[in-house]
């Protein structure tokens, strides 16, 4: 027989506890906010970080009586010189109204500049002194101040900068205050370098303090993926191998490296785009439903689907390099860094067995576009004989001109019983006319201030990402350069000659033909022949 002491009551967490913004910060956040942009004189800071902060300021998320923004770099300039450099990136004077110019002026006066080296303890102590001065002016109680360090820097200096921050610039206690760091991709070149970087930063900061930013996770329609998948009943029974033929995730740019050849050549299109942006999108498309929308539950499911990806075979990879890439003076003459890559991922689980996920990314293509294309299987027993018109597709256009549309077969208007493919189209520009869609960096910086890590890469996720077998692939270039990229106007196709890495680097070169239709919808890969080349 049960006794009274066998039972006890436990209070359930409320629904609000499952909100992604319900983050325990050990107390109310009412202290001053100091945002430090390290690498303040660089392109990333000027073009992305400071404009994002300005937009958050305009929308009331950064309050003048709480926030101070510090720029830190080696360049010897004054506060006013930095403000003048930033002004043109925040607003164009000839198109600006008086109100906009006033807002820019007020924002710029929130910015102070400290010059120093990235490995100098004395310089960082000077930075800490300036931050503390701001905190005292806002009457912030010791321990309640908030410090956000944005590392708009090359990964090579992350360890030294992180060590300096830990040594000299941490908040003094945890009475509602915090110290957080934001690090930019790429997070290492391979598994070994990624793990080394993670270890160096992880020895200094706890995981809740580290925000590994991938700006694609801040895009409107990328953030919409979980809502689309798990808040709409119609997709639940369709989102599996029984109905979906393939998934294509495509990133295209219509320009080359544009002066960034030296930087790009260190990483290539795989590490720069596929291993970061496209794999993150792949996770959101392929992951299972999390038990809640809390950041850790979502990131747990992303790790699970990455661990379910089978090792990538060489025959599932095509690499290319656009003609003229090595003309860039900052690129080595013998560079074999790929500027185009197509890779097929195969997920070994009950939902996706047998469904290819085709990830494609390239520079110097015919247009600029990023989209997700879910292609459904053919209708069995097609009584209308309309398969040649194309399959049903659900397309999510990430950029430019955000949109979602479903391609359906319908009756052609008229007296005849003929079919035509049409679209159900949700164009954000038309449907949400007058609504400003925030930039990705705005969202992610605001998430960092709020302590929401849902849209940031966790360490174990980074490790699985870096362990993929495609990270070290290169274009195998014979001594006499092959034109890897050329136009065939008569067919309106782009033809790319690329080679896969062969086990034996002899005079046999496997040639592949990759046909990319102008709209980039189809991938036809034909292994033509093995040809002998004198290397």
Contacting residues for 354 by C-beta, under 8 A, at least 6 apart: 241, 346
Edge-to-edge order in the sheet of strand 146-151: 111-115, 67-73, 33-38, 146-151, 178-184, 210-213
Which residues are catalytic, by number?
277
Side-chain-facing half-sphere of 146: CA atoms under 13 Å:
22
Q: What b-and-e string marks burial along 131-169, b requiring 16 or more CB atoms within 10 Å of the CB?
A: bbebbeeeebeeebbbbbbbbbbebebbbebbbbbbebb
On the question of a cis peptide bond just before residue 114, with omega within 30 degrees of 0, the verdict is no
On the question of a cis peptide bond just before residue 412, with omega within 30 degrees of 0, the verdict is no
The tokens 């919808």 sit on which residue?
521
Spatial contact of 341 and 484, defined as CB atoms under 8 Å apart: no
Which 3 state secondary structure label does DSSP give 147? strand
Beta-bridge partner residues of 183: 151, 212
Spatial contact of 341 and 269, defined as CB atoms under 8 Å apart: yes
Q: What b-and-e string marks burial along 396-429, b requiring 16 or more CB atoms within 10 Å of the CB?
A: bbbeeebbbbebebeeeeeeeeeeeeeeeeeebe
What CA–CA distance (Å, rounded) separates 13 from 35? 33
């Amino acid at each position: 027989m049960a006794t009274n002491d066998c039972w006890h009551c436990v209070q359930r967490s409320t629904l609000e506890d499952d909100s992604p913004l319900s983050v325990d910060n050990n107390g109310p956040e009412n202290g001053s906010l100091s945002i430090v942009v390290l690498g303040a004189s660089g392109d990333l800071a000027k073009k992305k970080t400071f404009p994002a902060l300005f937009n958050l300021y305009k929308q009331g998320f950064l309050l003048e009586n709480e926030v101070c923004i510090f720029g830190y770099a080696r360049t010897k300039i004054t506060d006013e010189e930095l403000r003048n450099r930033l002004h043109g990136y925040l607003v164009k004077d000839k198109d600006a109204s008086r109100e906009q110019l006033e807002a820019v002026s007020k924002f710029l006066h929130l910015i102070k500049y400290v010059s120093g080296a990235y490995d100098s303890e004395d310089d960082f102590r000077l930075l800490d002194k300036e931050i503390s001065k701001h905190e005292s002016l806002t009457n912030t109680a010791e321990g309640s101040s908030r410090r956000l360090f944005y590392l708009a820097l090359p990964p090579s200096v992350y360890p030294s900068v992180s060590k300096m921050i830990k040594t000299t610039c941490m908040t003094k206690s945890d009475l509602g205050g915090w110290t957080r760091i934001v690090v930019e991709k790429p997070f290492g070149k391979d598994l070994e370098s990624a793990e080394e970087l993670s270890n160096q930063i992880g020895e200094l900061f706890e995981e809740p303090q580290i925000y590994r930013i991938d700006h694609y996770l801040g895009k409107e329609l990328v953030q919409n993926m979980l809502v689309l998948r798990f808040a709409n009943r119609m997709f639940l029974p369709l989102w599996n191998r029984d109905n979906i033929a393939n998934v294509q995730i495509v990133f295209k740019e219509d320009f080359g490296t544009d002066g960034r050849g030296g930087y790009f050549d260190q990483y290539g299109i795989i590490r720069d785009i596929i291993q970061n942006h496209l794999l993150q999108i792949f996770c959101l498309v392929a992951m299972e439903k999390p038990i809640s929308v809390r950041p850790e539950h979502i990131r747990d499911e992303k790790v699970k689907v990455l661990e379910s990806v089978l090792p990538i075979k060489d025959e599932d990879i095509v690499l290319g390099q656009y003609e003229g890439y090595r003309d860039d003076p900052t690129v080595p003459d013998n560079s074999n860094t790929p500027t185009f890559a197509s890779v097929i991922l195969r997920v070994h689980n009950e939902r996706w067995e047998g469904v290819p996920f085709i990830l494609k990314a390239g520079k110097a293509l015919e247009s600029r576009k990023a989209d997700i294309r879910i292609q459904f299987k053919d209708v069995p027993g097609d009584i209308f004989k309309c398969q040649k018109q194309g399959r049903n597709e659900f397309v999510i256009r990430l950029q430019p001109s955000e949109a979602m549309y479903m391609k359906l077969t319908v009756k052609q208007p008229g007296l005849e019983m003929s079919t035509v493919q049409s679209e159900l189209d949700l164009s954000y520009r038309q449907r949400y006319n007058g609504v400003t869609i925030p930039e990705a960096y705005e969202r992610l910086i605001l998430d960092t201030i709020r302590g929401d890590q849902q849209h940031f890469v966790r360490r174990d996720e980074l490790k699985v990402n870096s362990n993929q077998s495609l990270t070290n692939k290169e274009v195998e270039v014979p001594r006499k350069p092959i034109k890897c990229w050329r136009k065939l106007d008569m067919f309106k196709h782009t033809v790319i000659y690329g080679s896969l890495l062969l086990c034996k680097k002899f005079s046999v070169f496997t040639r592949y033909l990759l046909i990319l239709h102008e709209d980039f919808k189809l991938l036809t890969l034909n292994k033509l022949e093995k040809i002998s080349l004198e290397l």
